[in-house]
Amino acid sequence: MKARWLVMSATGAVVALSSFSLLGGFGEKVDFNTQVKPILNKSCITCHGGVKKASNFSLLFKEEAFAPAKSGHPAIVPGDADKSELIRRLTATDPDERMPLDGPPMKPEDIETLRKWIDQGAEWGDHWAYQTPETPSVPSVGTIWSRMGLTNHPETDWSTNEIDRFVIAKLHTTEAPGGGTLMPATIADKATLLRRVSLDLTGLPPTEAEASAFLHDASPRAYEKLVDRLLASPAFGEKWAGMWLDLARYADTKGYERDPGRSIWRYRDYLIKAFNSDKPYDQFLTEQLAGDLMPQATDEQFIATGFHRNTMNNDEGGTQDEEFRVASVIDRVNTTWDVFQGTTFGCVQCHSHPYDPFRHDEYYKYMAFFNNARDEDVTTDTPTLRFYKGADSAKLVQLRSFVQKTCPDRSRANAEARRVELLARTMEPKINSHDFDQHQNAALLDAKFFGIMDKGTARLKNVTLTGRTRLYLAWGTSAPDAQLTFRLDNPAGRVLATAMAPKTGNQWKDSVQVISLPNVAGRHTLFLSLNSPTKPKDWVMIKWVSFQPALAPQAEATLLSLLNTHPEQTPIMLDGQGDLARKTHVFTRGSWLTPGKEVQPDVPHSLPPMDVDGQKLPRNRLGLAQWMTRPDHPLTARVAVNRFWEQLFGTGLVETVEDMGTQGIQPTHRELLDWLATTFVQEDGWKMKALLKRIVLSSTYRQRSDVTKQLVREDPYNHYFARGPRVRLAAEQVRDQALVVSGLLSRKMYGPSVMPMQPDGIWQSPYSGESWVLAKGEDAHRRALYTYWKRTAPYPSMITFDSPSREFCQIRRLRTNTPLQALVTLNDPVYVEAAQRLADYMAIHGKTPAQQLQAGFHRLMLRELAPKKLAILTKLYQDTEVYYAQNPAEAGKLLASATASPKQAALTVTANAMMNLDEVITKD
């Protein structure tokens, strides 16, 4: 049963009624979701829920709640509270019987609610967020006459679009602060709005040209034109990619103890391009989750799958690859839920969800979608997409067309060409050598790759050989005359092949070779043995093997030459087929070492099924993405619009952006959320720019953000939007703004991450020879999102301003306000340099100190400095100038210049002060 809001608009007042309150007779009908479920969650479900089922009684799922408990009788008898054991136990006087056991008794009014609910039939309800949203009707505001344009009414005049009408309607409800007396604020002035919307849409303050264009545009559409320009700006994609990097847990290192580098910046560039090209959100989601599975996947779609290759990889010696492979898969499941479904799914790993309707085995069914990925925590971070350049790139084109043309089976020509191309581009499918077992005189060297010495043997299980007469082998050694033999089915079995290990200098260097195999049908176990008489103690290392069909000799040679190059690469997702397909099991109590029953890929039952109306979706990541982006999916669009709202207003419509479930904070404006979500899908076709434009054009967004005492008292956190957003800038914005106003910012886009100025001693990873190499030229002043991100030692000023360390997905940044932030913007050399350059600007944009200060402030805030504030800064300037005139050497130090003038030093100090003003580091 669902609560619905009936909106009565005749007087502009909106009265919320739940539909069943019209039933009468019983008095108020108790609502399960809003009244009963919170009581159960608070008092009962710890022992009778997803984790524990004391006395075999659980309140998590409907069928469990009404099923007979250990006593043989159901605890709840719908329609009869007096006969319900649940009520008897809650009111029992014997402390051994009374629930909650060992806790304080439940409040009488809560018991009364439960009693009433049972008497009214104990109707179970599903949480709203798991029900497909319907488009709510938009409330009317003002009077019927004002809506027809016949008279004026302040609310009709104020509201620009539907968002505003939802907001006004909610402000008028009795549940709103002040009992419905609050009024929305007036629209902010142009300069404030310009800075606000520029920072919000592009992450940067406007350029002077942009400011001038907007401030001098008197047309009624000036603001909309500005919004269109900002949405079209390349900086737009950088800003929103920056947001997405937290969600994708993007970093330039692999994490854990050694935390070595990883080259995955192409994924970051994909995000920038995706936002800038206004890629529809459904496609954006699908490419990131399943780009590799899309038909004829493009490079861009492969790169997009880097989303889930940002999981950590443990290169520490002694760690088991399988353990960390599983950890990555689990992280992918949890992150997919966190980011796209706004649901904390992680706890289902060990047991059914304690509060939300997800069962333990559903976690593993869902995990099965991700469990086939070929990455296995190997130190090379494979699979990767390889980017051949120049002649190699031409070779690949030739190879592809040669295979296509010469394929004897014409119906398979395209598929065969694609197979060979993918082999060259991704080196997949291959078997990683950590899969070899039964080591004798052999070992996993540094727990990474298989090594074997003279007289060594090992086993490789279950390889399909039918039609595969070529063995590709990446290996190397320092030993001469090391001969490897492959035998079939047993250690003394038929010799399948022998080959001399390539002398690569040392075993860690590999060379890819191809060995011919005889025609063997079926699936077999192979046994390896090594004969290395000259240097018996030298290791031969094998990194991977791959069994492939034969190609024409010239094609094989070309392929081999490509595989032996070392082009740039980026990690991608790729699924294993055949021998490489994995089975998925439930992990008993969440541990990968205790597998339970096998499961098939599927989605939780409390959400719409994957197959509807005879349409079957494939049970892989692509099918999963198609399911998530189907219009009837209750979560995907809601979660997306809530996130964008949160980015613009500082707080989501559901404040817990990470959790829309029963444990999340319930939305203040659920109708608005649903309206935005359904409009986003149905009208905007998932276009993010359209959604953002709708929100920033609303009067709700454009309100003044300064507050009255009444507002602070009644709605301290602005949950009802009777004022505009006023929040501290995000870490990236603090830095980027300083670089923009000082003229230092490089607009260079894309490419490997850069290392701007950073204090010594920040990087302290053990066993890592990597160091911070200061960027040269314009790379020292790129936008913050291009800063090299080391997980165990992130860029300090970013962390100080609340960036997460990106080990795991972080849905929401909490905003803190600390003295350490002050020290960054006061003293960090990055900000001192910015102050010097802003001072240069001030010097040439004014004659008197007052003019210069105004120029600097205008550059920052696009408006005049109020006289009182100007007086304070002028005094600072004058006092400082006197000091530097008396101490010219100090001025020289401050400006790092022998010819520094006291004026310039004083301007620098004043600029430094201005860049620390609350209004400057705040979006208001």
Partner 1 sequence: MNKLQQELQQAALQRDTRRHFLQTCSTGLGAMALGSILGSCGSLFGRDEKVAASLANADYDPMAAPMDPRLSQFAPKAKRVIYIHMAGSPSQLELFDYKPELMKYNGKDCPQELLTGKKFAFIRGVPKMLGSTANFRQHGQSGAWISDYMPHLQTVADELTFIKSMHTDQFNHAPAQLLMHTGSARLGRPSMGSWVTYGLGSENDNLPGFIVLASGGKQPDAGKSVWGSGFLPTVYQGVQCRTDGDPVLYVSDPNGMPRDIRKQTIEAINQINQQEYEAAKDPEILTRISQYEMAFKMQTSVPDAMAISGEPQYILDAYGVDPKKGSFARNCLLARRLVERGVRFVQLFDWGWDTHGTSKDTSVDIGLQMKCKESDQAVAALINDLKQRGMLDDTLVVWGGEFGRTPMQENRDGQTQSFHGRDHHLDAFTVFMAGGGLKKGLSYGETDPIGYYAVKDKVHIHDLQATILHQMGFDHTKLTYHFQGRPFRLTDVAGKVVKGVIA
Interface with partner 1 in residues 340-399 (CB under 8 A): none
869 touching partner 1, by CB under 8 A? yes
Q: Where does this chain touch partner 1 (CB under 8 A) — which range of 376-384, 683-691, 817-825, 846-854?
A: 817-825
Cβ neighbour number for residue 826 with a 10 Å cutoff: 15
Residue the block writes with tokens 């790379």: 779
Pick 500 or 889: Cβ nearer partner 1: 889
Number of H helices and E strands in the chain, helices first, is 33, 15
Contact partners, residue 553, CB within 8 Å, separation at least 6:
none
Distance CA 634, CA 132 (A): 4
To partner 1, the closest distance from the beta carbon of 823 in angstroms equals 4
Pair 738, 831: CB distance under 8 Å: yes
Q: Where does this chain touch partner 1 (CB under 8 A) — which range of 132-140, 221-229, 730-738, 794-802?
A: 794-802
Residues of span 673-732 touching partner 1 by CB under 8 A: 705-709, 711-713, 716, 726, 728
Please state whether beta strands 595-599 and 470-477 pair in parallel, antiparallel, or not at all (unpaired).
unpaired
Pair 789, 753: CB distance under 8 Å: yes
Number of residues that bind partner 1 (CB under 8 A): 71
Residues of span 431-470 touching partner 1 by CB under 8 A: none
Pick 333 or 824: Cβ nearer partner 1: 824
Whole-number Cα distances in Å, 85 to 66, 91, 355, 623, 797 = 11, 10, 22, 45, 58
Distance CA 438, CA 421 (A): 34
Q: Where does this chain touch partner 1 (CB under 8 A) — which range of 398-406, 454-462, 528-536, 822-830?
A: 822-830
What does the block give as tokens for 125? 């309800």
733 touching partner 1, by CB under 8 A? no
To partner 1, the closest distance from the beta carbon of 762 in angstroms equals 9
592 touching partner 1, by CB under 8 A? no
To partner 1, the closest distance from the beta carbon of 43 in angstroms equals 10
Integer-rounded Cα Rg, in Å, for the chain is: 32
What does the block give as tokens for 886? 């008396």
The contact mask relative to partner 1 for 24-53 (x = CB under 8 A, - = no) is: ------------------------------
To partner 1, the closest distance from the beta carbon of 768 in angstroms equals 13
Whole-number Cα distances in Å, 544 to 329, 373, 382, 513 = 22, 16, 11, 11
Distance CA 272, CA 289 (A): 17
What does the block give as tokens for 487? 């035998």
To partner 1, the closest distance from the beta carbon of 899 in angstroms equals 14
Pick 773 or 814: Cβ nearer partner 1: 814
To partner 1, the closest distance from the beta carbon of 640 in angstroms equals 23
Pick 517 or 870: Cβ nearer partner 1: 870
Q: Which of 181, 519, 817, 851 binds partner 1 (CB under 8 A)?
A: 817
Pick 38 or 125: Cβ nearer partner 1: 38
Q: Where does this chain touch partner 1 (CB under 8 A) — which range of 23-31, 110-118, 773-781, 873-881?
A: 873-881
Distance CA 192, CA 703 (A): 10
- Give one DSSP letter per residue of 455-524, joined into a string: EEEEEEEEEE-TT--EEEEEEEES-TT-EEEEEESSTTS-EEEEEEPPB-SSTTS-EEEEEE-----SEE
To partner 1, the closest distance from the beta carbon of 586 in angstroms equals 15
To partner 1, the closest distance from the beta carbon of 566 in angstroms equals 33
Residues of span 300-319 touching partner 1 by CB under 8 A: 318
Q: Where does this chain touch partner 1 (CB under 8 A) — which range of 218-226, 390-398, 511-519, 911-919?
A: 911-919
Q: Which of 665, 690, 757, 843 binds partner 1 (CB under 8 A)?
A: 665
To partner 1, the closest distance from the beta carbon of 202 in angstroms equals 24
To partner 1, the closest distance from the beta carbon of 761 in angstroms equals 5
Task: Using DSSP, state whether 131 is helix, strand or coil.
Answer: coil
181 touching partner 1, by CB under 8 A? no
To partner 1, the closest distance from the beta carbon of 869 in angstroms equals 5
CA 870 to the chain's CA centroid:
43
- What does the DSSP 8-state code read for residue 138? P
Residue (of 469, 537, 463, 529) closest to 499 by Cα position: 529
To partner 1, the closest distance from the beta carbon of 166 in angstroms equals 23
Pick 226 or 909: Cβ nearer partner 1: 909
Residues of span 551-590 touching partner 1 by CB under 8 A: 589
Residues of span 880-909 touching partner 1 by CB under 8 A: 880, 883, 887, 890-896, 905, 909
Q: Where does this chain touch partner 1 (CB under 8 A) — which range of 75-83, 265-273, 499-507, 871-879?
A: 871-879
Residue (of 769, 801, 773, 806) closest to 790 by Cα position: 806
Residue (of 180, 279, 301, 163) closest to 653 by Cα position: 163
866 touching partner 1, by CB under 8 A? yes
Q: Which of 182, 574, 873, 907 binds partner 1 (CB under 8 A)?
A: 873
Q: Which of 490, 506, 827, 851 binds partner 1 (CB under 8 A)?
A: 827
178 touching partner 1, by CB under 8 A? no
Distance CA 759, CA 504 (A): 40
Q: Is 194 left (phi over 0), alpha (psi -120 to 50) or beta?
A: alpha
Pick 532 or 705: Cβ nearer partner 1: 705
End-to-end CA separation in angstroms for the chain: 42
Distance CA 131, CA 778 (A): 51
Residues of span 617-646 touching partner 1 by CB under 8 A: none
The residue length of the chain stands at 924
Q: Which of 577, 591, 851, 886 binds partner 1 (CB under 8 A)?
A: 591
761 touching partner 1, by CB under 8 A? yes
Q: Which of 805, 840, 850, 885 binds partner 1 (CB under 8 A)?
A: 805
To partner 1, the closest distance from the beta carbon of 544 in angstroms equals 24
To partner 1, the closest distance from the beta carbon of 262 in angstroms equals 20
* Burial (CB count within 10 angstroms: exposed 0-12, middle 13-18, buried 19+), residue 394: exposed
774 touching partner 1, by CB under 8 A? no
The contact mask relative to partner 1 for 97-126 (x = CB under 8 A, - = no) is: ------x-----------------------
Q: Which of 822, 851, 864, 886 binds partner 1 (CB under 8 A)?
A: 822
To partner 1, the closest distance from the beta carbon of 53 in angstroms equals 14
Distance CA 5, CA 16 (A): 5
Pair 287, 269: CB distance under 8 Å: no
Pair 137, 124: CB distance under 8 Å: no
821 touching partner 1, by CB under 8 A? yes
To partner 1, the closest distance from the beta carbon of 816 in angstroms equals 4
* Partners of 568 in beta bridges: 387
To partner 1, the closest distance from the beta carbon of 750 in angstroms equals 30
Whole-number Cα distances in Å, 817 to 59, 276, 652, 755, 821 = 41, 32, 20, 26, 7
Q: Where does this chain touch partner 1 (CB under 8 A) — which range of 16-24, 560-568, 621-629, 876-884?
A: 876-884
Pick 474 or 824: Cβ nearer partner 1: 824
Q: Which of 95, 553, 614, 766 binds partner 1 (CB under 8 A)?
A: 766
Residue (of 192, 130, 40) closest to 639 by Cα position: 130
Distance CA 527, CA 254 (A): 34
To partner 1, the closest distance from the beta carbon of 910 in angstroms equals 8
